[in-house]
């Protein structure tokens, strides 16, 4: 009897189809995002995230169609991110049936989109996605305008810098401060991706997740680095995350969501099973 921690599979989509190969499913159309979403719902996923990585100009229409088809078959919350810039974009995505939108580059460039979006649609549907990368320093004096964390077991310090444009462009912005600002503007959740750990499969950046949890009061979704169930367990126990996002460990059939949830529960982490 308590709020559970959430396990969230993330699907990279382009033109309505999942980009990364899905090897274990015998679906008629193995790359169809809706079918995969439905499959994860049945497996026990707590939410879904669709990240549209298309760069073409006609993407909006295809994305809207995907959101509509998903809302016909998937009855868990789902978030849509990628290229959402304006309040009008947010409205279109939500109207099509998404529960939340995730804002990244657009929110950094124009933080007001968070405020406006939250005011009109409610904080619960505005997720701010932050791509954060470590910057190591030897003493806190080196970066007085940043929120600095002393690294555990090391005589070293670091802060995290916000990157935009899918991790290509550094902004000079402090990630923790940006998280606090996003929360104050009305964002209801933070989707926090460690650029240092993303794709490495050696675990989440637990210090980053923990620092966000300590400084912010909205839920934190840890992202980037999950290679096995132990990493997800650590995101909850050591990183204090409210939710863990993962992609490849589920897509390639290495582990099912059910297996991961059972292992988490054994460690005393509240799970919906």
Q: 98 vs 158, which CB is nearer to another protein?
A: 98
Residue 88 makes contact with another protein by CB under 8 A: no
Q: 34 vs 148, which CB is nearer to another protein?
A: 34
Choose, from 32, 41, 89, 131, the residue flagged as catalytic: 131
Cα–Cα distance measured from residue 12 to residue 247, given in angstroms and rounded to the nearest whole number: 9
Judge whether 131 counts as a catalytic residue: yes
Q: Any residues with CB less than 8 A from the CB of 264 and at least 6 apart, and which?
A: 5, 7, 229, 232, 233, 236, 271
Beta carbon of residue 245, minimum distance to another protein (angstroms, whole number): 14
Report 126-185 residues binding another protein (CB under 8 A).
Answer: none
CB contact at 8 A, 137 and 159:
yes
Q: Which of 32, 189, 198, 205 binds another protein (CB under 8 A)?
A: 189
Residue 92 makes contact with another protein by CB under 8 A: no
Counting DSSP H helices and E strands in the chain, the numbers are 10, 12
Two structure tokens written together for 76: 């868990």
Beta carbon of residue 215, minimum distance to another protein (angstroms, whole number): 13
Q: 71 vs 106, which CB is nearer to another protein?
A: 71
Q: For residue 63, how far is the Cα from the chain centroid?
A: 18
DSSP letter (8 states) at residue 158: E
Q: Which of 10, 22, 94, 241 binds another protein (CB under 8 A)?
A: 94
Beta carbon of residue 87, minimum distance to another protein (angstroms, whole number): 15
Two structure tokens written together for 250: 């589920």
Report 39-78 residues binding another protein (CB under 8 A).
Answer: 41, 46, 68, 71-73, 75-77
Q: Any residues with CB less than 8 A from the CB of 170 and at least 6 apart, and which?
A: 133, 161, 162, 163
CB contact at 8 A, 139 and 157:
yes
Beta carbon of residue 272, minimum distance to another protein (angstroms, whole number): 4
Of the candidates 74, 122, 119, which has an alpha carbon nearest to the alpha carbon of residue 98?
A: 74
Residue 268 makes contact with another protein by CB under 8 A: no
Give me the residues that bind another protein (CB under 8 A), please: 1-6, 41, 46, 68, 71-73, 75-77, 94-97, 99, 121-125, 188-189, 217-219, 242-243, 272
Please give the positions annotated as active site. Answer: 12, 131
């Amino acid at each position: 009897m308590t709020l559970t921690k959430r396990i969230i599979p993330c699907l990279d989509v382009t033109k309505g189809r999942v980009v990364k190969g899905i090897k274990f499913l015998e679906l008629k159309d193995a790359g169809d995002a809706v079918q995969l979403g439905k499959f994860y719902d049945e497996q026990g996923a707590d939410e879904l995230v669709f990240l549209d990585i298309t760069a073409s100009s006609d993407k909006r229409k295809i994305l809207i169609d995907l959101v509509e088809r998903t809302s016909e078959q998937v009855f868990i919350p789902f978030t849509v991110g990628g290229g959402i810039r304006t309040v009008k974009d947010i409205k279109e995505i939500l109207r099509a049936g998404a529960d939340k939108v995730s804002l990244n580059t657009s929110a950094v460039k124009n933080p007001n989109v968070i405020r406006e979006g939250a005011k009109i649609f409610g904080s619960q549907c505005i997720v701010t996605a932050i791509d954060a990368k470590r910057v190591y320093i030897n003493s806190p004096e080196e970066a007085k305008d940043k929120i600095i964390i002393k690294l555990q077991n090391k005589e070293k310090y670091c802060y995290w810098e916000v990157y935009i444009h899918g991790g290509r462009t550094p902004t000079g912005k402090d990630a923790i401060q940006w998280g606090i600002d996003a929360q104050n503007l009305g964002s209801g959740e933070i989707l926090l991706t460690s650029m240092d750990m993303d794709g490495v499969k050696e675990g989440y950046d637990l210090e980053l997740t923990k620092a966000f949890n300590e400084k912010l009061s909205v839920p934190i979704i840890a992202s980037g680095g999950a290679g096995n169930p132990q990493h997800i367990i650590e995101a909850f126990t050591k990183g204090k995350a409210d939710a863990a996002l993962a992609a490849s460990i589920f897509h390639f059939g290495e582990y099912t969501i059910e297996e991961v949830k059972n292992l988490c529960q054994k460690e005393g982490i509240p799970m919906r099973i």
